[in-house]
């Protein structure tokens, strides 16, 4: 048996409008995460193109992609992916530090954002001292701290109980409406998917259907 | 980045301190050995300069290769005097003192001298102004006869003066054909200052008479001089003058002792030994470097997920590289500083121990000048401090580079998936 190459995505094409709240719904193995990694410039596709603000991002080098991730894109993960040794505040400050923003300003901005996501009183707690929902709020604050155009969330509720899950979804929805950032949320939960403006159904690396929800 | 690296190091205290310890030992060894070597070299050099007048060449007849030759004539001395760059050349006749050839005081007690040297006192004073000096009495004048100048140990035996200024001493020597003993009387004119240090121009066990008196004693009169002392005006010319003298007498017919050549060679040997020891110290530092590489490779694996997170939120490859290199650098700086500090202490401690070993054996029958103890003091030089410190940093960076590069090249998606 040799190595068998299984393409995760086999011809997926769609546009995302600015300010849209989009969910990608599909069972595990349908290629949702791969799709999100590609949009988020964490990975490169074998074929095809990804246009971000009208620009093909695939011609950019690793450093330029990193810069894009830093300033224009925010990531929220299923397993939060916070640095365990750092406090909530410090975790949120990482992208600011990477962008070369002074510690004083970073501190101020991170505090404000953590208050916005409802963690004003948990600034100096480490991830291990926070609940799952709280950790995910820290992660959302980290994703938003550099004012990105696009926020990508990979199963953000996958590791939370139903109540905290919904709190997170509602928070993202609220941020989308208040600040106007574009959200792409990957989920396998049809109920959560319904919170979006538009749902893309993904199966075996292909788009099965697209459903717009008018509010 | 610095505070982040510092935090990462603090997170793994035991591991960091063990890694740093490796660097500390390496730097400590290098620095201590270098300092001790430098100190030892300085001590030896100073001693050699005290022991030999660097501007005085000593010419012996014959050589090890061709065997001993008969002595030098007055003509030979005149030739050497005229070589360019030579300021003085003076002959020396030696009469070794033995069981039969004895130098005794008025009561028949043997003096402490091992040999009698016949010299021109005025010229000797000019050639060796720092060594050929009196502690009491005076040197005989040009045409004074029957006078003798004693070396310090010749005058003092077992801490008692056996012959002092104004005393009469007798040289008795058997004449070969008849075996009858001839006696020659001298009056002590002066006693030389204690030489003490090592080196070949130490006159403590000598007694000096004038050449004219010596020529009356010895039987061989055509080429009587066994040694010629040559003073050069400029130390740099010593080698050239030595060559010219050798050329004049012919290959292997004379041996010219050039103190600068000797000190140079000793210095070279000491440098070699020092370098060898430093090389050994360097090996321990390289071992420490491999330790750093090992630890950092493990750290990169452990922190794969963290690297993935940082990259996902926008850290560039070189930011990750810099982060890990900063950690290696910190280990280098801390290890280097501690290593130099402990290296200072270590070198003094080692010097103390070695000095105890180097103490001469006090029970030795003869208190020889050569057995004077050598005192080892480490010479802590800024140069070596900088070299050792740079070495620590370079080793840490070189060995930290591979794991740091590995970390920076990680694919973020795979890194995030890593458990």
Per-residue pLDDT of chain B (419 residues; tens, 9 = 90+): 666 777 777 777 888 888 888 889 888 888 888 888 888 888 887 777 776 778 889 999 988 888 888 889 989 999 999 999 999 999 999 898 988 888 999 888 888 899 999 999 999 988 888 788 888 899 999 888 999 999 988 898 888 888 889 999 999 888 766 667 888 999 999 999 887 554 556 788 899 999 999 988 887 778 889 999 999 998 888 899 999 999 998 888 899 988 888 888 888 888 888 888 888 878 878 888 888 888 888 888 888 888 888 888 888 898 889 988 988 898 889 999 999 999 999 989 988 888 887 665 554 444 444 445 567 788 888 888 898 899 889 988 888 888 889 888 888 888 888 76
Six-digit token string for B324: 């890990």
Q: How many alpha carbons lie under 13 Å from residue A193 in its C-beta half-sphere?
A: 19
For residue B314, give the nearest of A37, A82, A95 by CB distance.
Answer: A95
Give the closest-approach CA distance of A92 to chain B in angstroms.
10
Q: Provide DSSP, B254-282.
A: EEEE-HHHHHHHHHHHHHHHHHHHHHHHH
Q: Is A75 on the interface with B (CB under 8 A)?
A: yes
Residue B51: the pLDDT is 67
Six-digit token string for B38: 């430098």
Q: How far is CA B84 from CA B81, B90, B233, B243, in A?
A: 8, 16, 9, 12
Closest CA to B165 of B194, B143, B129, B135: B135
Q: How far is CA B414 from CA A8, A43, A119, B254, in A?
A: 15, 9, 31, 82
For residue A75, give the nearest of B312, B317, B318 by CB distance.
Answer: B312
C-alpha B141/C-alpha B129 separation (Å) is 17
Residue B359: the pLDDT is 65
Contact B51, B197 (CB under 8 A): yes
Sign of CA dihedral B380, B381, B387, B393: positive
C-alpha B220/C-alpha A84 separation (Å) is 99
Q: Is A32 on the interface with B (CB under 8 A)?
A: no
Q: Is A81 on the interface with B (CB under 8 A)?
A: yes
Whether residues B316 and A99 touch (CB distance < 8 A) is answered with no
Q: Is B317 on the interface with A (CB under 8 A)?
A: yes
Per the prediction, chain A carries an average pLDDT of 86
C-alpha A87/C-alpha A122 separation (Å) is 9
Whether residues A37 and B413 touch (CB distance < 8 A) is answered with yes
Q: Is A101 on the interface with B (CB under 8 A)?
A: no
Interface probe for B, chosen from A8, A34, A66 (most Cβ of B below 10 Å), is A66
Q: How many Å from the N-terminal Cα to the C-terminal Cα in chain B?
A: 25
C-alpha B154/C-alpha B173 separation (Å) is 18
Q: Is the ipTM of this complex over 0.90?
A: no
Q: Is A40 on the interface with B (CB under 8 A)?
A: yes
For residue B416, give the nearest of A63, A71, A81 by CB distance.
Answer: A81
Give the closest-approach CA distance of A1 to chain B in angstroms.
24
Contact B400, B296 (CB under 8 A): yes
Nearest CA in chain A to B309: A81
Give the closest-approach CA distance of A154 to chain B in angstroms.
12
Closest CA to B326 of B407, B383, B387, B415: B407
C-alpha B55/C-alpha B335 separation (Å) is 47
For residue A83, give the nearest of B309, B311, B411 by CB distance.
Answer: B309
Q: Is A197 on the interface with B (CB under 8 A)?
A: no
Q: How many alpha carbons lie under 13 Å from residue A93 in its C-beta half-sphere?
A: 20
C-alpha B224/C-alpha B94 separation (Å) is 9
Using DSSP bridges, classify how beta strands B227-232 and B86-96 pair: parallel, antiparallel or unpaired.
antiparallel
Q: Is B2 on the interface with A (CB under 8 A)?
A: no
List chain B residues with CB under 8 Å of A70.
313-315
Interface of A with B in 49-68 (CB under 8 A): 62-63, 66-68
Whether residues A142 and B412 touch (CB distance < 8 A) is answered with no
- H-state helical runs in B65-190: 74-81, 121-127, 152-155
C-alpha B101/C-alpha A124 separation (Å) is 99
Closest CA to B415 of B406, B59, B37: B406
**Is the confidence at residue A101, as pLDDT, over 70?**
yes
Count CB-CB contacts under 10 A for residue B58.
Answer: 18
**Is the confidence at residue A142, as pLDDT, over 60?**
yes
Count CB-CB contacts under 10 A for residue A47.
Answer: 9
Contact B140, B211 (CB under 8 A): no
Six-digit token string for B115: 């040999």
Q: Is A91 on the interface with B (CB under 8 A)?
A: no
C-alpha B259/C-alpha B164 separation (Å) is 33
Give the closest-approach CA distance of B296 to chain A in angstroms.
18
Six-digit token string for B212: 């004219």
Q: What per-residue string of b and e applies to A181-201 under the rule 16 or more CB within 10 Å gives b? A: bbbbbbbbbeebbebbbbbbb
Average pLDDT value for residue range A55-61: 86
Six-digit token string for B277: 């020891």
Q: How far is CA B111 from CA B116, B155, B161, B296, in A?
A: 11, 6, 9, 75
The answer to whether the predicted template modeling score (pTM) of the entire model surpasses 0.90 is no
Whether residues B318 and A63 touch (CB distance < 8 A) is answered with yes
DSSP code, position B375: P
Residue B281: the pLDDT is 78
User: What angle, rounded to 10 degrees, do the helices at B259-302 and B238-249 form?
Assistant: 130
Per DSSP, what are the bridge partners of residue A22?
Answer: A184, A198
Residue B370: the pLDDT is 47
- State CA B181 to chain mean position distance: 46
């Amino acid at each position: 048996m040799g190595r068998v190459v299984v393409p995760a995505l086999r011809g997926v094409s769609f546009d995302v409008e600015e300010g849209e709240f989009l969910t990608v719904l599909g069972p595990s193995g349908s290629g949702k995460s791969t799709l999100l990694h590609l949009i988020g410039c964490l990975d490169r596709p074998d074929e095809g193109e990804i246009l971000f603000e009208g620009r093909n991002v695939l011609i950019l080098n690793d450093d330029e992609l990193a810069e894009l991730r830093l300033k224009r894109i925010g990531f929220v993960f299923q397993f939060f992916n916070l640095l365990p040794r750092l406090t909530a505040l410090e975790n949120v400050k990482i992208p600011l530090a990477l962008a070369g923003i002074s510690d004083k300003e970073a501190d101020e901005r991170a505090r404000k954002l953590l208050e916005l996501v409802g963690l004003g009183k948990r600034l100096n707690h480490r991830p291990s001292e926070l609940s799952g929902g709280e950790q995910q709020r820290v992660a959302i604050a980290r994703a938003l701290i550099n004012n990105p155009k696009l926020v990508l969330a990979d199963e953000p509720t996958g590791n939370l109980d139903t109540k905290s899950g919904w709190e997170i979804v509602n928070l993202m929805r609220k941020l989308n409406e208040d600040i106007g950032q574009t959200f792409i949320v990957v989920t396998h939960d049809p109920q959560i998917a319904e919170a979006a403006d538009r749902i893309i159904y993904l199966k075996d690396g292909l788009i099965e259907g697209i459903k717009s929800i008018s509010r | 980045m610095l505070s982040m690296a510092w935090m990462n190091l603090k997170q793994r205290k035991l591991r960091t301190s063990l890694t740093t310890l490796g660097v500390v030992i390496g730097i400590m060894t290098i620095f201590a050995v270098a300092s001790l070597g430098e100190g030892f070299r300085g001590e030896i050099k100073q001693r050699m300069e005290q022991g030999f007048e660097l501007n005085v060449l000593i010419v012996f007849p014959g050589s090890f290769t061709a065997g001993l030759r008969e002595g030098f004539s007055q003509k030979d001395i005149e030739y050497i005097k005229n070589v360019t760059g030579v300021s003085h050349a003076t002959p020396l006749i030696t009469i070794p003192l033995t069981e039969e050839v004895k130098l005794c005081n008025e009561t028949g007690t043997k003096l402490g001298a091992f040999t009698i040297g016949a010299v021109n006192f005025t010229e000797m004073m000019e050639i060796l102004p720092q060594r050929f000096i009196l502690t009491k009495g005076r040197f005989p004048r040009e045409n004074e006869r029957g006078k003798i100048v004693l070396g310090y140990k010749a005058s003092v035996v077992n801490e008692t003066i056996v012959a002092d200024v104004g005393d009469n001493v007798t040289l008795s020597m058997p004449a070969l054909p008849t075996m009858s003993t001839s006696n020659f009387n001298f009056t002590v004119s002066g006693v030389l200052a204690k030489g003490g240090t090592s080196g070949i121009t130490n006159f403590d066990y000598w007694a000096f008479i004038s050449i004219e008196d010596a020529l009356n004693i010895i039987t061989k009169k055509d080429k009587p001089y066994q040694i010629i002392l040559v003073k050069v005006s400029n130390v740099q010319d010593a080698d050239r003058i030595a060559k010219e003298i050798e050329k004049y007498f012919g290959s292997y017919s004379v041996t010219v002792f050039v103190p600068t050549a000797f000190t140079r060679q000793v210095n070279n040997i000491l440098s070699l030994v020092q370098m060898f020891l430093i090389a050994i110290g360097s090996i321990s530092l390289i071992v420490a470097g491999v330790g750093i590489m090992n630890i950092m490779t493990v750290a990169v694996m452990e922190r794969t997920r963290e690297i993935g997170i940082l990259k996902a939120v926008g850290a560039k490859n070189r930011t990750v590289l810099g982060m890990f290199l900063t950690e290696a650098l910190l280990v280098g700086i801390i290890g280097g500083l501690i290593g130099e500090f402990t290296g200072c202490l270590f070198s003094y401690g080692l010097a103390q121990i070695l000095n105890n070993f180097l103490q001469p054996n006090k029970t030795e029958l003869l208190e020889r000048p050569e057995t004077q103890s050598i005192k080892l003091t480490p010479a802590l030089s800024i140069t070596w401090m900088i070299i050792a410190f740079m070495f620590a940093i370079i080793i840490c960076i070189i060995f930290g580079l591979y794991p740091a590069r590995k970390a920076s090249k990680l694919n973020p998606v795979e890194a995030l998936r890593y458990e």
